[in-house]
Structure 1
């Protein structure tokens, strides 16, 4: 079996071989300066999967740089609050952070495309859009305005729609519903009469327990089980139509990035790709057992009724049109992503959807 270090070395070689900025003379250059950075997170350390994306990135980068680039990781609240991570990198309080870009839609709604948007991309589609179709270049046009460079370091995959204290049987049940929900999805459900709330991970449970909110979404079975939501809300809804995938980003202060050598850029990019792959694999591995445990303990799974899904889809498209009319970069990102998504489904319905649909039905016969 290939050792992990051999895999990372091979992956680094592939990144460097494909990079136009790394001429042979640059690869052969002296290692360069040592760097000691701090990374603030938007996540609590107790959530080992989502917070672990940053840990994996730091570990891999330390190994492939032979200890020359070392980063200390700080959980949300240790340096700044989870929703202030970008600000801390932008102003140089820390050199980098791991966060969800949609936490910053108050600065510009275009940030949402860096994490997830309602009825957007799946995880594989999002990776392809970022790394092959030009999505990441478009996003960095936005990020550069805030003095940061952005690279994905993980993904939660498709998320659940969250925990509800009462059942949602129709669109009318959304009226007055106070829900902790991230990103642009809050603006969508507000169109349907709900009241969106932005609450950091560590504050969701007490708000749900006290009835300050009626519902809350976070990620999925593994993370949600750790946060204990099943103890205070019985109904667990799906699908999370606002997060068919949700990327975790590394933001680096632009001045610090520009001080690095091309080799350092390649090392950071290689470590980010490794963390991205490992985080996706982690969630795929841990969620099946977690959903079994939750259901065995009494959690009641519910699918959103079709009329609720259709109403949310209509409201989302209305929202996109409204924002696009006022924000040219948002319009470019939305049109670019939507065209890419539609082409992806044109292909995936032929092979992947038909294969997976058959296998889901056949799994009980294996």
Structure 2
């Protein structure tokens, strides 16, 4: 890089120029400053490479040529996986990389690239700009001698290329797959062997049999690399990369040596390129996928249900285990989870908003990935229609999806279980989405929601979670907030609440445990006349044992109210009489009844069947009203 004569740090820059050394200073160039950008991918590669060049052009135009960037492809100066060290040491001034390549330096890096079942491109940018993400990223970068900026996002990616069809999780056993980051760790739990190979070497590795499959990015880039010539089975969705952010890491000394105007130009150009690159990927991926399937005979597959279910189960385990590996990762994870929880709450609301034309559904608020016309794992209400696209008659469209965790497929299978209850749309909506078109909704039997509860007789000044951040109120409470298992929604929400409301500063902390730990800790505090917070939901048996006051949640981190909906497999409706179906459609219990049933099971130690029989015997009039068939039912 080249400094102007008037800028501080000129002497250091002159020394670097004169010695030709790899110091964090620019070489002098007449009329301005030139930064050396080192990429992790080939020069001018579609998307990644061309976006870097476009970013450089933005900077040059905005600075009237006084700040210039010279782009070097992977291998021209250093190997792809050496880029960060090269920039930090001064061999380059800035990078164009993905932060999950630096996972081995600190697991926190992965959050600034992509996390399985994580944030979409717009959510990630929101977290960086308005959720504290950039401040954390700056601290992480400073530990490694760089200043990071988000400069590109690929949007939702694909699941990858395989030489042989993957029909079940068993088919992944023993496969050597190029899957970096946490997605690779998830596949390892299914028996695969993940590896990381630079993009420029992937085709040769796949063609030669060094690897059995790979994921790279999405159709536009995958077509350019020619993977279809080495494998024909192409999988979606890319649950490991909901929106992959690409970074320019700028040498910390170089960044400090720039003027305020130059730093502003780089930041503004990065923001603009982030948005432009995402739009370009969305547009070009559609055309490229059309070409792959129509012209090259690529076979498009949806991941088998058992693999998706396992990935949903494994994801929180892998993410939380990774976050525990460094203090920085732990802190970043808490902030990321808070953003994730807020996105979930917003996603549920926005996905159900009607459009002006009531015959249409809302556009998806969280675009995820390409999906085919085959049975789709996401709800029709979330589909982004492309009626004028050639893809609409052939294959994938974009869909949106709430974050998936753990699935129960009781209504999907051919077992004798025909009916189940699902909390919709938020808590269980994603679990039934893979087969939602096969289900019919019969009735809403109660309306569950999450709470942070305190004793009903607590001081009336304590009305909101935000009140707990006040020292005089916090001093009245036990600081341990005892929760249940770490993968539960209430646990994820609670960790986010600690962060978003600043409660850690007052000594509050959340601990995972069993349901018995959770309810027992609260009842112990109550018996000792101490104030405590219980992270709970309604209906739940504790509401029958003690009076709770739900604290207001102005940031809506606990999500909204769900409908506990009785659903039935459509192919089972013919096996029931119209009267039986009418009875099922008439059932409504309500939260209080379900709380008492829960008490009979958890405290009274009845089986669910015995608890139901006992309740029916006491409430025959209500039950008989459900069994009154409407006119025409027999």
Which range, TM-score by smaller chain? 0.7 to 0.9
Q: Give 3-state SS (helix, strand or coil) of 1:45's partner.
A: coil
Q: Give 3-state SS (helix, strand or coil) of 2:119's partner.
A: coil
The separation in 2 between residues aligned to 1:360 and 1:334, in whole angstroms, is: 30
Q: Give 3-state SS (helix, strand or coil) of 1:61's partner.
A: helix
The answer for the alignment partner of 2:284 in structure 1 is 286
> Moved runs in structure 1, 4+ residues, more than 3 A?
356-366
The answer for the alignment partner of 1:304 in structure 2 is 303
- Cα 1:302–1:77 change in 2 (3 A) is same
Deviations for 1:148-174, whole angstroms, at most 9, x for unmatched residues?
Answer: 000011100000011011122221111
| 1:323 Cα offset (Å) | 2.6
The answer for the alignment partner of 2:322 in structure 1 is 323
The answer for the alignment partner of 2:243 in structure 1 is 245
The answer for the alignment partner of 1:347 in structure 2 is 346
- Cα 1:46–1:233 change in 2 (3 A) is farther
Instruction: Please identify, of 250-259 and 272-281, the stretch whose mean Cα deviation from structure 2 is larger.
Output: 272-281
Unaligned runs of 5+ in 1: 1-32
The separation in 2 between residues aligned to 1:150 and 1:221, in whole angstroms, is: 27
The answer for the alignment partner of 1:314 in structure 2 is 313
Deviations for 1:323-356, whole angstroms, at most 9, x for unmatched residues?
Answer: 3333222122222212211221222233246523
The yes-or-no answer on 1:214 pairing with 2:221 is no
Residue among 224, 227, 230 paired with 1:229: 227
| 1:65 Cα offset (Å) | 0.6
The answer for the alignment partner of 1:337 in structure 2 is 336
How many residues matched? 334
The answer for the alignment partner of 1:128 in structure 2 is 126
TM-score, normalised on structure 1? 0.87
The answer for the alignment partner of 2:108 in structure 1 is 110
The separation in 1 between residues aligned to 2:385 and 2:175, in whole angstroms, is: 39
The separation in 2 between residues aligned to 1:362 and 1:252, in whole angstroms, is: 40
TM-score, normalised on structure 2? 0.51
Residue among 153, 156, 178 paired with 1:155: 153
Matches within 5 A, 1:53-132: 53-132=51-130
Instruction: Please identify, of 134-143 and 356-365, the stretch whose mean Cα deviation from structure 2 is larger.
Output: 356-365
- Cα 1:134–1:361 change in 2 (3 A) is closer
Q: Give 3-state SS (helix, strand or coil) of 1:47's partner.
A: coil
- Cα 1:201–1:365 change in 2 (3 A) is closer
Q: Does structure 1 retain, via aligned residues, the 8 Å contact 2:46–2:224?
A: no
The separation in 1 between residues aligned to 2:385 and 2:80, in whole angstroms, is: 43
Q: Does structure 2 retain, via aligned residues, the 8 Å contact 1:43–1:76?
A: yes
| 1:66 Cα offset (Å) | 0.8
Q: Does structure 2 retain, via aligned residues, the 8 Å contact 1:116–1:247?
A: yes
The separation in 2 between residues aligned to 1:365 and 1:147, in whole angstroms, is: 49
| 1:361 Cα offset (Å) | 7.8
Q: Does structure 2 retain, via aligned residues, the 8 Å contact 1:150–1:251?
A: yes
Q: Give 3-state SS (helix, strand or coil) of 1:351's partner.
A: helix
Q: Cα RMSD between the aligned structures?
A: 1.8
Q: Does structure 1 retain, via aligned residues, the 8 Å contact 2:232–2:299?
A: yes
Q: Does structure 2 retain, via aligned residues, the 8 Å contact 1:52–1:279?
A: no
Q: Give 3-state SS (helix, strand or coil) of 1:350's partner.
A: helix
Q: Give 3-state SS (helix, strand or coil) of 1:184's partner.
A: helix
| 1:261 Cα offset (Å) | 1.5
The answer for the alignment partner of 2:274 in structure 1 is 276
Instruction: Please identify, of 340-349 and 271-280, the stretch whose mean Cα deviation from structure 2 is larger.
Output: 340-349
Q: Does structure 2 retain, via aligned residues, the 8 Å contact 1:105–1:184?
A: no
Of Structure 1 and Structure 2, which has the larger fraction of its residues in helix? Answer: 1
Q: Does structure 2 retain, via aligned residues, the 8 Å contact 1:53–1:276?
A: no
Instruction: Please identify, of 314-323 and 57-66, the stretch whose mean Cα deviation from structure 2 is larger.
Output: 314-323
The answer for the alignment partner of 1:188 in structure 2 is 186
The separation in 1 between residues aligned to 2:162 and 2:278, in whole angstroms, is: 26
The separation in 1 between residues aligned to 2:71 and 2:293, in whole angstroms, is: 34
| 1:364 Cα offset (Å) | 5.0
Q: Does structure 1 retain, via aligned residues, the 8 Å contact 2:117–2:241?
A: yes
Q: Does structure 2 retain, via aligned residues, the 8 Å contact 1:120–1:338?
A: no
Q: Give 3-state SS (helix, strand or coil) of 2:117's partner.
A: coil
Q: Which has the higher contact order (CA 8 A, sep 6+)?
A: 1
The separation in 2 between residues aligned to 1:295 and 1:42, in whole angstroms, is: 29
Q: Give 3-state SS (helix, strand or coil) of 1:343's partner.
A: helix
Q: Does structure 1 retain, via aligned residues, the 8 Å contact 2:38–2:95?
A: yes
| 1:359 Cα offset (Å) | 7.5
Q: Does structure 2 retain, via aligned residues, the 8 Å contact 1:53–1:275?
A: yes
| 1:46 Cα offset (Å) | 4.4
Unaligned runs of 5+ in 2: 1-30, 353-360, 364-379, 390-634
Instruction: Please identify, of 174-183 and 321-330, the stretch whose mean Cα deviation from structure 2 is larger.
Output: 321-330
Instruction: Please identify, of 124-133 and 350-359, the stretch whose mean Cα deviation from structure 2 is larger.
Output: 350-359
The separation in 2 between residues aligned to 1:252 and 1:87, in whole angstroms, is: 11
- Cα 1:326–1:365 change in 2 (3 A) is closer
Deviations for 1:178-233, whole angstroms, at most 9, x for unmatched residues?
Answer: 10112221112112111011111111111111111110100000000010001111
| 1:257 Cα offset (Å) | 0.6
Deviations for 1:113-147, whole angstroms, at most 9, x for unmatched residues?
Answer: 11101111111111111111111111121111000
